[in-house]
A and B are shown apart, each in its own frame.
Chain A
Amino acid sequence: MNDEARPPAKAPRRAAEIVPQARMSGPIPWVIAIMVALMAIAAAGGLALRNTGNAAAVELSGGITIQIIEARPAERERQAAAALAVLKQVQGITEARIVPQEELDALVEPWLGDAATGAGADEAGVPVPALIDARLSGALTPERLAKLQAVLRPAAPSARVDAQSTWLKPVFGAVVSLQWLALALIVLLSCATGAAVLLAARTALGNNRETIEIVHLLGGSDAQIAGIFQRSIGIDAASGGVAGLAAAIVVIALLGRSFAALQAGIVTGSALGWTDWAAIALIPVVVAALATVTARWTVMRALRRML
Chain B
Amino acid sequence: MTHPGEGEIVQFDNVGLRYGTGREVLSDVSFTLYPGCFYFLTGASGAGKTSLLKLLYLAQRPSRGAIHMFGTDAITLPRERLPMLRRRLGVVFQDFRLVPHLSAFDNVALPLRVAGVAERDLAQPVADMLEWVGLADRMSARPATLSGGEQQRVAIARAVIGRPQMLVADEPTGNVDPEMAVKLLRLFEALNRLGTTVVVATHDAHLLRKVPDSLIIRLDKGRVSDPTGALRYPPRRPVGPA
Interface residues of chain A, those whose CB is within 8 Å of chain B, are 2-4, 6-12, 15-16, 18, 20, 210-211, 213-222, 224, 304, 307
Of all chain A residues, the one with the shortest Cβ separation from B96 is A214
Q: Does B101 contact A (CB under 8 A)?
A: yes
Of all chain A residues, the one with the shortest Cβ separation from B112 is A218
Q: Does B210 contact A (CB under 8 A)?
A: no
Q: Which of B24-32, B58-66, B180-188 contacts A (4 or more CB under 8 A)?
A: B58-66
Give the residue of B79, B113, B123 whose beta carbon is less than 8 angstroms from that of A11.
Answer: B123
Q: Does B1 contact A (CB under 8 A)?
A: no
Interface residues of chain B, those whose CB is within 8 Å of chain A, are 57-61, 79-80, 82-84, 86-87, 91, 97, 99, 101-103, 105-106, 109-111, 113-115, 119, 123-124, 126-127, 131, 136-142, 145, 158
With A3-B141, A6-B139, A18-B99 known to touch, is A219 a contact of B86 (CB < 8 Å)? yes
Is A218 a contact partner of B86 (Cβ separation < 8 A)? yes
With A8-B137, A20-B101 known to touch, is A220 a contact of B114 (CB < 8 Å)? yes
In whole Å, how far is A7's beta carbon from the nearest beta carbon of chain B? Answer: 8
With A215-B110, A219-B111, A220-B114 known to touch, is A6 a contact of B80 (CB < 8 Å)? no
Is A11 a contact partner of B139 (Cβ separation < 8 A)? yes
With A6-B139, A16-B101 known to touch, is A11 a contact of B59 (CB < 8 Å)? no
The residues of B that contact A222 with a CB separation of less than 8 Å are 79-80
Give the residue of B59, B83, B99, B137 whose beta carbon is less than 8 angstroms from that of A211.
Answer: B99
Is B137 a contact partner of A219 (Cβ separation < 8 A)? no
Give the residue of A12, A18, A214, A219 whose beta carbon is less than 8 angstroms from that of B87.
Answer: A219
The residues of B that contact A213 with a CB separation of less than 8 Å are 59, 97
| Complex Cα gap A59–B103 (Å) | 70
Is A219 a contact partner of B114 (Cβ separation < 8 A)? yes
In whole Å, how far is B203's beta carbon from the nearest beta carbon of chain A? Answer: 23
With A16-B103, A18-B99, A210-B97 known to touch, is A9 a contact of B114 (CB < 8 Å)? no
With A6-B139, A18-B113, A307-B58 known to touch, is A220 a contact of B83 (CB < 8 Å)? yes
Is A217 a contact partner of B106 (Cβ separation < 8 A)? no
Of all chain B residues, the one with the shortest Cβ separation from A303 is B79
